[in-house]
Amino acid sequence: GQQLNQSPQSMFIQEGEDVSMNCTSSSIFNTWLWYKQDPGEGPVLLIALYKAGELTSNGRLTAQFGITRKDSFLNISASIPSDVGIYFCAGQGVTGNQFYFGTGTSLTVIP
Amino acid sequence: DAGITQSPRHKVTETGTPVTLRCHQTENHRYMYWYRQDPGHGLRLIHYSYGVKDTDKGEVSDGYSVSRSKTEDFLLTLESATSSQTSVYFCAISEPGLAGGYEQYFGPGTRLTVT
């Protein structure tokens, strides 16, 4: 199965710093999705992107759908302790209704 | 949360026993999915359904079967559990977003331990 390349694997940052993570794929996608997962819980959808070049914000989060349709990035500005968790990217394939996932970026925010 | 519940939330079972996990949704979504999540592997698709009695295999379907006799319920069965099936299992639905794309939402997960 296809797996997306997500980087970095982990990040340790000071509270107030900005964060950036990205995902790349060898295939093009119709949709890029970004999730956050807290321990013991299911992934929660943060942002959905539908068109190449699209830039979308959700509060302090900003994500972009790459122009080639093979990549996406997520930025978190002015990080706070509750941003701690694992962030996943996902892409919806161009045929059918299947989704493919990155292996996640573990974010630690140091107060 | 897209109205998705999973049961049980935790289960410990012995090798060789059958296990059924249930996913229930209340919002009439057509597409439903079962994933497993393991360290270092991310989320991997086991089976998915595109309607009542319409299912298809995913990437890691060996040792698993599914059934969907009603829109709201999607069952995952391990016919004879093995230790390699110890994992966290997530149910998900997808619904239309914008521009022909889809969004996917997850349930709270079931932690299964096979001893």
Q: Taking CB atoms and an 8 Å cutoff, what residues of chain A touch B106?
A: 35, 42-44
A92 in B contact zone (CB under 8 Å): yes
Tell me the nearest-neighbour CA distance from B26 into chain A, angstroms. Answer: 17
Q: Taking CB atoms and an 8 Å cutoff, what residues of chain B touch A35?
A: 106
Query: E-strand spans in B14-79?
Result: 19-25, 31-38, 42-51, 54-57, 64-70, 73-78
Nearest of B58, B77, B59 to residue B69 by alpha carbon = B77
pLDDT > 80? residue A1? no
The C-alpha atoms of residue A99 and residue A95 are separated, in whole angstroms, by: 10
Instruction: For residue A17, give every residue at least 6 positions away whose Cβ sits within 8 Å of its Cβ, in sequence order, or none.
Output: A78, A79
Tell me the nearest-neighbour CA distance from B35 into chain A, angstroms. Answer: 11
- Read off the pLDDT band of A20 (50, 70, 90): very high
Q: Are B35 and B45 in contact (CB under 8 A)?
A: yes
Strand partners for A81: none
Q: Are B45 and B32 in contact (CB under 8 A)?
A: no
| Mean pLDDT score, A23-39 | 95
| Mean pLDDT score, A49-64 | 96
DSSP assignment, residue B71? T
- Read off the pLDDT band of A24 (50, 70, 90): very high
Q: Taking CB atoms and an 8 Å cutoff, what residues of chain A touch B60?
A: 1
CB nearest A1 (choices: B31, B44, B108): B44
A43 in B contact zone (CB under 8 Å): yes
Helix, strand, coil percentages, rounded to 5, for chain A: 5, 60, 40
A110 vs A16, A59, A107, B99, CA distance in Å? 9, 21, 10, 39
CB nearest B104 (choices: A33, A40, A104): A33
Mean per-residue pLDDT over chain B, rounded: 94
For the stretch B56-109, pLDDT in tens is 999 999 999 999 999 999 999 999 999 999 999 999 999 988 877 899 999 999
CB contact under 8 A, B42 and A3: yes
A103 in B contact zone (CB under 8 Å): yes
Nearest of B80, B78, B31 to residue B55 by alpha carbon = B31
